Amino acid sequence: MMNRPNPTDAAALSSVFCTGQLAGIMLAIAVAQVATANLPEESWTLRQQADDALFRKVMPLVFALNTLTLGIAFARAEKQQRSYFGAAGLFFIGTVADTMFVNVPINVTISTWTAGDAPENWRLERDKWLQGHWLRTAFGALSFVLSAVAMQS
């Protein structure tokens, strides 16, 4: 006879899944950015604007699911697990903060550009965006690792 899943385990598993999904999305975006860094300005601008339009729709849901699952996992966790889920939550907050204070403002700027007629410093904006993105990717990956460790503890 099968046992019913423990609600704490289900919450922890959901948290690991969601933080892993976030880390995967962030890593895939970073790889795509590196792969397209040498595109001419017009092509790069159009690609960045298209990516931003998609992620403006997707990321609020991803962030909300991470907030929900990490919060539930933290609330239901035992003492040692709670420390790991708490740390995972802090790194997740770092991901969101970096997104809101670094990448989104740059995306707003890029959204005003006309492809083929971007400012002379467009490469500086591209590079600042990528630096911020690597930071949030690291935060997202740490959130995932800490959630996975919490589930095993």
Q: How far, in Å, CA of 148 to CA of 146, rounded?
A: 5
Average pLDDT, integer, range 128-138: 97
Average pLDDT, integer, range 76-97: 95
Answer whether residue 106 shows pLDDT above 80.
Answer: yes
Coil, helix or strand at residue 117: coil
Percentage with pLDDT > 90 across the chain: 89
In a domain, 133, yes or no: yes
pLDDT of res. 150: 93
Task: Read off the tokens for 144.
Answer: 């995932």
In a domain, 3, yes or no: no
Average pLDDT, integer, range 106-130: 97
In a domain, 37, yes or no: yes
In a domain, 1, yes or no: no
pLDDT of res. 153: 81
In a domain, 23, yes or no: yes
Answer whether residue 9 shows pLDDT above 60.
Answer: yes
Answer whether residue 1 shows pLDDT above 60.
Answer: no
CB atoms within 10 A of CB 33: 19
The residue among 115, 111, 123 whose CA lies nearest residue 54 is 111
In a domain, 2, yes or no: no
pLDDT of res. 6: 66
For the full predicted model, state whether its pTM sits above 0.85. yes
Domain of residue 17: give its range. 8-152
In a domain, 50, yes or no: yes
Number of domains in the chain: 1
